[in-house]
Structure formats: C-alpha cells, structure tokens
Amino acid sequence: MAEGLDVAAARREFPVVRRMLYLDAAHQTPLASSVRAALERFYDEGQEFGGPKPVWLARVEEVRARIAKVIGAETSEIAFTKNTSEGLNIAANAIPFRAGDNVLMVEGDHPNNAYAFLNLRRKGVEVRFVPLRGETADADTFAHHIDGRTRAISLSHVTFHAGHRFDIESIGRLAHDKGLYFVIDAMQSIGVVPLDVACGASVIAFGCHKGLYVPHGLGVLYVRRELSELAPAYLAVAGLAQPPADLVARTDNMALRADAGRFELGNVNIPDIHALAASLTMIERIGIAAIHDHILALGDHLIARMDALGIRLVGPRSRAHRSHIYVLDLPGEGWLEYFSSQNVRVSPERDGIRVSFGFFNTADEIDQLAELIRRRNA
C-alpha cells in the first residue's frame, strides 16, 4: 500500500540534490541509492556465482508483473525492449497497414514517434500531422482528419517539449469507435502521471530512465491481449509458441506466442530489470497519485513565481493539461550557460529553458531558481 510522499526521505535517496539544483527529470532522472544498490547486488552475483541465470529470469517475470500492475495491464501484455523508440518501431511495423493507409500524429510531437511511422512511407503509408491548437489534444483534434484509409493514431501522453498532457481517454474512445489502432508514447508520463490501459490504448511504449529512475537501456511495451494480428517484424526463438527443445529451427514450427512476448528477441536487459525492481519499490511506497499531486503543486508554485517575474510559460497553464515539464520563455541569450555556472541542471528547448520535476524536488528549489532569474534580469 502506498504510504504517501515524504519529500525529505525521498531526497535522501538522491545524493545529487546535495550537489546541484536538479530540475531536469524530463531529460533523465538521477540514480537513487537504492537503485544503485540493486545493480551492485546483481553484479556481485554475476561475479561471485558466475551468473545464476534461472534466478535472474525468475526475477524478470516478477518485475514484468509489477510493471504491468502500474498501468493496469495483464502480465502477458508486457514485453521488455531497449527504449521507447524501439517500442514505437515495433508498433509501427506490427500494425497491418496497406499501401494508401494513413496514420494521424500531432505536429511537433517527439520525432522518434514520427520517424517510426514515416519509415513506412516506403510501403505506401502516409503520415498526416495534425496541428495542436490550445493546451491539449483530444478526440476533437483528430475527428475531422479521419477518413476511410486512416488506420491508427499515435501520440505522446505528455509532450517532451512543453509538457502538454493529452486527453488519451477521449482519443481512445474515438479510436475504438472508428476501429483504429491507438499507439501511445508514455516516456514522459510513466511514473509521473497516472496511466491506465483502460484508456483504450492498443500499444504503449516507454523507456525507464525518466519517471522510473532506471539507467538507460530498458524499455517496456504494452500490447493489448486481443490484438493477435499484430505480428513482429523480427523473430527469435523467444517469440515462438513452442520453442524447439533441441534448438533446431524448423519451418513447421513458426507459430508465434499469443502474448506480448512474441515481440521479445531473447535476452533482455537483466541488470536494468533488477534496477527497475528497486525503483518500483520506491514508487510503490509513495504512490503515483501522490507523485502526481506533488509535481502539480510544484508547477503551481513555479507558475506563480514566474508570473511575479513577468516570465511567460510556453506550454499549458491549467492543471488538467500539464504535468512535470515547464518551458520558460526567458529573454535574451546565455541562460543555459548561466544556469550551468550556478550549478543548476535544466535543458534547452525549442522556445526557452525547460524545467522538469522529479518527486525529490521542492518548492524551496523553485524559489532558488526564481531568485537566480531575478538576479540576472536585474
């Protein structure tokens, strides 16, 4: 059961907060002490025992069940990948498109979502970019762009460039009503914003190095159980319904697994899965709802401080449409270099400086950021 968010205890997990003002969770999150300890235990086992692989694989299945629970999925609907981009490419190539079909996407969304589908132009699939108007994308954003050859909608849950939170529930209903596949890039929302497969997603892809606090190299793919027609572009023994005991390939044994495991290609990132076990323990103890409430409260405070300084927010302002990502329209040049010189970690973004929160951040840190901005503008 979730215990709620004790920010002081959370901060003790992250030594980086004693060294810098870390406001860059949308780029990557710092390593927690408990996650590092889990990795060290894994490497100790490999060093001392030569790799107890059956034990490790049993843990993989335990973590598969735990990450499924986070998004309300069945364990059988989860596959492990390398990252979000691999998951999106799996989805794009698994959907049974035909030449002349089209997929709808939000203009300016993450390029790796777009390129996964743009790569299908060689097969005659068209990508149609729908402009984002206002603070969110919802069913109305797409409804008038659907025609008889539309097969899918693909978009981020939360945008990386300004923190828009899209209305995936209404889009999911639209996709269901129109018989479309619905693909979600949840890289920026997982572990931060509540996410449930009941939104109507066909496929969800995300990496684990942001809101799940795991080093780079591990991704998760959700594939809805009923969508057995989604077939992998690549095949390995791991994807077979009945892997041959003698490991001899035969043309009469190519039936695929019925679950999402048909999209796995063998050994997964076992070290990072051990790390994910530790990070899930941390997140489960707090609860994603508490994390979400905390980051929205931080956003409220940031907006108030920026308003007082006359600094425009590039992205959405309303709580219903924002998340943990905020882009500040700071005037003039040199802001990134200035923040770096002041030991502040942020990211440059299209229209300004991106500030993004983890559950370890505090209102006091926002006050420190605001004071730094005030000083430079004085």
The answer on 66 and 43 residing in a single domain is yes
Task: Say if residue 268 is in the same domain as residue 306.
Answer: no
- What does the pLDDT read at residue 94? 98
- Asked whether residue 359 is assigned to any structural domain, the reply reads yes
Tallying the residues shown for the chain, one arrives at 378
In a domain, 231, yes or no: yes
Q: How many domains does the chain have?
A: 2
In this structure, what are the phi and psi dihedrals at residue 245, rounded to the nearest 5 degrees? -60, -30
Would you list the DSSP string of 307-355?
A: HHHTPEESS--SGGG--SEEEEE--SS-HHHHHHHTTEE-EEETTEEEE
Are 60 and 175 found together in one domain?
A: yes
State the pLDDT at residue 4.
82
Give yes or no: residues 250 and 292 share one domain: no
Same-domain check for residues 245 and 333: no
Cα–Cα distance list, 128 to 105, 108, 158 (Å): 6, 12, 20
Question: Contact, 78 vs 61, CB < 8 A?
Answer: no
Instruction: Write the CATH number for 57.
Output: 3.40.640.10
Evaluate whether residue 268 is within a structural domain.
Answer: yes
Q: Looking at this protein, which amino acid is placed at residue 148?
A: G
> Could you write out the DSSP letters of every residue in 105-174?
EETTS-HHHHHHHHGGGGGTPEEEEEPP-SS---HHHHHTT--TTEEEEEEESB-TTT--B--HHHHHHH
Provide the token pair at 3: 């215990």
337 shares its domain with 208: no
**Among 254, 284, 314, where does a domain finish?**
284
Cβ atoms of residues 155 and 167 within 8 Å = no
Q: Final residue of a domain: which of 234, 264, 284? A: 284
d(CA 143, CA 145): 6
> Do residues 147 and 277 both lie within one domain?
yes
The CB density around residue 329, as the number of other CB atoms within 10 Å, is: 12
The answer on 300 and 238 residing in a single domain is no
User: In one letter, which amino acid is 192?
Assistant: V
Q: Assess if residue 2 is contained within a domain.
A: no
Judge contact between 203 and 223, C-beta under 8 A. Answer: yes
At 1 the pLDDT is 56
Q: Is the domain of 115 the same as that of 211?
A: yes
Please say whether the beta carbons of 338 and 371 come within 8 A. Answer: no
Q: Is the pTM of this model over 0.85?
A: yes
Predicted pLDDT of residue 312 = 96
Task: Name the strand (E) or helix (H) holding 278.
Answer: helix 270-286
- pLDDT at residue number 2: 67
Domain contains 1: no
Q: What is the mean pLDDT of each run of 10 residues along the chain (378 residues)?
A: 85 97 98 98 94 94 98 98 98 98 97 97 98 95 98 98 97 98 98 98 98 98 98 95 95 96 96 98 96 97 98 95 97 94 96 96 98 95
In angstroms, the CA 214 to CA 147 distance is 41
Residue 103 covered by a domain: yes
Q: Which domain holds residue 348?
A: 7-30+287-377
